[in-house]
Structure 1
Amino acid sequence: MVLGKRLRQLREQAGLSFEEAARALGVTSLTVRRMEKAEVGLRIAYVKELLRTYGAAAEEIDDFVDMAREANKPGWWYSYRDVLPEWFKAYVSLESEASVIRLYEPHYVPGLLQTREYAAALFRIGFPNESEEEIARRVDLRMRRQDLLSKPNAPVMWAIVDETVLRRPVGGAEVMRAQMDRMIEALEIPTVRIQVMRFSAGAHPGAYGPFHHFRFGFSELPDIVYTENLAGSVYYDRPEDVVTYLEVLDRMSVQAEPVSRTKDILDELRKEL
């Protein structure tokens, strides 16, 4: 996405249209548009020819090509493509590159905080016709995603979870107790913040459903909001859309219990199991 945006900037600086850039490659303008929108991989031969057409210096071309080769390499999740929905691949990629992840979850514990047993119980419900081997593959993928929180440059993960998440029994009392323990442990990670939206807080502006907000360490990459439904997902990157979700998260963070209260709340609910 960063490289695609840079290609667009160079084309515009050169004063060329999509059609003029496409003629340099002998392709349709749609191909150039898709390269700039990161909808296709960057073919090295195309990249070199475009940069020459845009008047880029030889050193810039070499650096850009190196980055394009790196960007074209499959992510670690490629080996899980058999159980990774097409619409969720972008999510895993964004999650892996984000510097800040803010989210609201009204139904289940966020994937980055789930225990193996909790995740397995959810997948058995969501994919009732799959074998235990397929379920195990899905769980393994979710556990691999959690490595993100322990890496040296781990992103800040700020989650607001509804009290419903903590009271809904998934997998039985033993699984839920272990899940509460996992969340309490996660509070010790400096980059992890968890807030609970208690029932007593009443109505709140995020009650429409779960959503995740990503911020990145690249000035070229805009903030992105992810939402999902039974049929797939939607990614928003228009500033006016992203701001709407950010304002809701800010208002909810004030309405939810403070982070300093989260451990006590988890301890309290755990004792009820």
Structure 2
Amino acid sequence: MAAADPNPSLFVRPLGAVEKNPTALKLILGGKLRELRSVAGLDPADVDVRLGFSRSKTSRIELGRNGCKAADALALLALYEVTGEERIAEFLRLAQQSRQADWWRSYSDVLSDFFTPLVALEGAAERIRTYEPFYVPGLLQTSAYTRAVIKAGPGHLLTHEAERRVRLRQERQRQLDQPDAPHLWAVLDESVLMRAVGGPEVMRAQLEHLVEMMRRSRVTVQIAPLDVTAAIGVGTGVTYLRFALSDLKDAVYIEHLTDSTFNQRPQVVEQYRDMLDRLGACALTPAQSLEALRERIDKL
């Protein structure tokens, strides 16, 4: 029997796509610090006082809302009696990576606060499952279709603002081109095919793009007939993020007209996962969905 590693890694390995996602790293580092604090028998207020932190600083770090500076990380690890040069160096390296700028921050001028959690974490997911009752999912949209959706949305945007949102969506889509891209499984309400968003030509190009995307091994598209979605009663768009690492909790994003809900509570996530399971089981198979798309294209 092999001897136990005297200095085991603080983190589950390999990190994969997560290692390039500062937001995900903040959450992982924060969660690990929370575990270490709990083992040490301290509460966040105790840590703040002992280390001379500002009020609630420890909690903000643990929740992934704040990055962790090297000096703060060393102080926390010393307080929690974490030893071993390799473990400490590993933590410091990931802490530094977590403080890098996320790619999407350059679009903060057009990125709504309620949409940020999804954009920040979808690239770190192993699997993205989504149901859309009104439009083709953003990760599968053509630029012309996106423009039409944005134009039809609430509020009035200037031309350059609308184009910035189009580019943001295109940047999100590029994550699907990465070697460690998540598997995207999208279920579309049948009515999505019937709405000629942007006109027949734009819609035809969009459906042809869907057909093309379905050739990818990591993209699955299903069409849910109207009687299926009526029976299951989804009612709104839902996106579920599944992460490969146990250090990251699965999450659901539920979109409304002018805001959204991003939730990682296991009991809530499980309810939406079950709903998506039932949708997938009752929807057309991918092969049947492909045929439905081709039939609709022929009619445009």
TM category (shorter chain) comes to over 0.9
Deviations 1:2-32 (A, max 9, x none): 1110000111111222222112221355221
* Contact persistence 1:198–1:256 (CA under 8 A): yes
Q: Which residue of 2 aligns with 1:11?
A: 37
Shift of 1:256: 0.6
Shift of 1:161: 0.4
Q: Secondary structure at the match of 1:41?
A: coil
Q: Which residue of 2 aligns with 1:33?
A: 59
Q: Which AA in structure 2 matches 1:63?
A: E
Identity of aligned residues (%): 38
Deviations 1:127-151 (A, max 9, x none): 6522222111110110111111111
Of residues 99-108 and 225-234 in structure 1, the stretch that sits farther from structure 2 once superposed is 225-234
Q: 1:206 to 1:95 in 2, by over 3 A?
A: farther
Q: Which AA in structure 2 matches 1:71?
A: S
Q: Which AA in structure 2 matches 1:237?
A: Q
Of residues 102-111 and 223-232 in structure 1, the stretch that sits farther from structure 2 once superposed is 223-232
* Contact persistence 1:160–1:195 (CA under 8 A): yes
Q: Distance in 1 between matches of 2:56 and 2:258?
A: 27
Shift of 1:239: 1.1
1:65 aligns with 2:111: no
Shift of 1:266: 0.3
Q: Distance in 2 between matches of 1:261 and 1:141?
A: 32
* Contact persistence 2:236–2:256 (CA under 8 A): no
Shift of 1:59: 2.9
* Contact persistence 1:104–1:206 (CA under 8 A): no
Of residues 197-206 and 107-116 in structure 1, the stretch that sits farther from structure 2 once superposed is 197-206
Q: Which AA in structure 1 matches 2:259?
A: G
Q: 1:212 to 1:6 in 2, by over 3 A?
A: same
Q: Which residue of 1 aligns with 2:78?
A: 52
* Contact persistence 1:19–1:28 (CA under 8 A): no
Q: Distance in 2 between matches of 1:41 and 1:205?
A: 41
Q: Distance in 1 between matches of 2:249 and 2:192?
A: 30
* Contact persistence 1:105–1:210 (CA under 8 A): yes
Q: Distance in 2 between matches of 1:62 and 1:181?
A: 49
Of residues 33-42 and 178-187 in structure 1, the stretch that sits farther from structure 2 once superposed is 33-42
* Contact persistence 1:204–1:252 (CA under 8 A): no
Q: Secondary structure at the match of 1:247?
A: helix
Q: Which residue of 1 aligns with 2:131?
A: 104
* Contact persistence 2:73–2:92 (CA under 8 A): yes
Q: Which AA in structure 1 matches 2:118?
A: Y
Of residues 251-260 and 193-202 in structure 1, the stretch that sits farther from structure 2 once superposed is 193-202
Which of 249, 255, 272 lines up with 1:222 in the alignment?
A: 249
Which of 275, 281, 293 lines up with 1:254 in the alignment?
A: 281
Q: Gapped runs of 5+ residues in structure 1?
A: none
TM-score (norm: length of structure 1): 0.95
Q: Distance in 1 between matches of 2:155 and 2:64?
A: 35
Q: Distance in 2 between matches of 1:27 and 1:200?
A: 57
Q: Secondary structure at the match of 1:203?
A: helix
Q: Distance in 2 between matches of 1:86 and 1:207?
A: 24
Shift of 1:202: 6.0
TM-score (norm: length of structure 2): 0.87
> Within 5 A, what are the aligned runs for 1:1-273?
1-28=27-54, 30-57=56-83, 58-126=85-153, 129-201=156-228, 203-273=230-300
Deviations 1:209-259 (A, max 9, x none): 111100112111111011122332211111111110111111111111011
Q: 1:121 to 1:97 in 2, by over 3 A?
A: same
Q: RMSD of the alignment, in Å?
A: 1.5
**Runs of 4 or more consecutive aligned structure 1 residues displaced over 4 Å after TM superposition:** none
Q: Secondary structure at the match of 1:231?
A: coil
Q: Gapped runs of 5+ residues in structure 2?
A: 1-26
Deviations 1:94-128 (A, max 9, x none): 11100000111001000000000000111112265
